[in-house]
Amino acid sequence: MRQVEDPVRAEPETSRFRATVAYDGADFLGFQLQSKGRTVQGVLEVALAQVTQTTVRVIGSGRTDSGVHARGQVIGFCADWRHSMEDLHRALNAVLPPDVAVLDLDRAPEGWHPRFSAMRRHYRYTVLNQPLRSPLDRRYAHHVARPLDIRALQAGSRTLVGVHDFAAFGQPTRGESTVRELFDARWRQDGPWFTFDVVGNAFLRGMVRRLVGALLQVGAGFWPVERVAEVLESRTRALAAPPAPACGLCLMRVEY
């Protein structure tokens, strides 16, 4: 089987593709391929190999952690395919497991890269705030029994918007810079359901879950609102709250 190494640097006989993928991350060890364990990248590459009869490398817009979900992960790959786009789309979904689906598929423009061409990434974190846990929601929401104050949550999240050094809330996935820009960060409440939507140019490893962990300390009354800014300015992860569980996090959309 011929190895296709890079979706961006395709061989002349190959076609370059981009696709939007959704997955339930509960039974995956994250997106990125690992030597052992089930990953989203691994499942996608197995499906592509089965359909195209070649070894195809998949690159994602981001490397979601173990247990994190996605509604709008974007991938790129190169493959030899002489049939229609619709046939490839249908064939991939036919062989993929039930917890992964290709939502759309198209040709990738010249010079496009699923990660480096991305301008904005939108994550959502879901919290179920009620005294008793919900077994049916445990895979997709973090249960918090202590009452949360939506006004405190909003005040804390406003501190995060803008260009900041987020070293206290994560580790860089590439290079050494920990400076990122958040365009929006806000909470919404619908009865016992709290959702945190955050949009940024890029995120550090574990950053969203650590931000949520800190904000929940504020919302539950354990931290004053000012503590979020203090931790941010400290650039020290030891001062941050523990990260919120992976189950509540979902990659919603990637913009180019």
Residue whose structure tokens are 């696709």: 19
Say if residue 96 is exposed, middle or buried (CB neighbours under 10 Å; 0-12, 13-18, 19+). Answer: buried
The phi and psi torsions of 104 (rounded to 5 degrees) equal -150, 160
Among candidate residues 65, 99, 165, 184, the one labeled active-site is 65
Whether residue 65 lies in the annotated active site: yes
* Ramachandran bin of 206, using left for φ above 0, alpha for ψ from -120 to 50, beta for the remaining angles: left
DSSP strand pairing (15-23 vs 69-79)? antiparallel
Torsion angle of the four alpha carbons 59, 62, 68, 72, in this order, in degrees rounded to the nearest 10: -80
- Residue 68: Cβ within 10 Å count: 27
Torsion angle of the four alpha carbons 160, 162, 167, 170, in this order, in degrees rounded to the nearest 10: 70
Say if residues 96 and 220 touch (Cβ distance below 8 Å).
Answer: no
Tell me the catalytic residues: 65
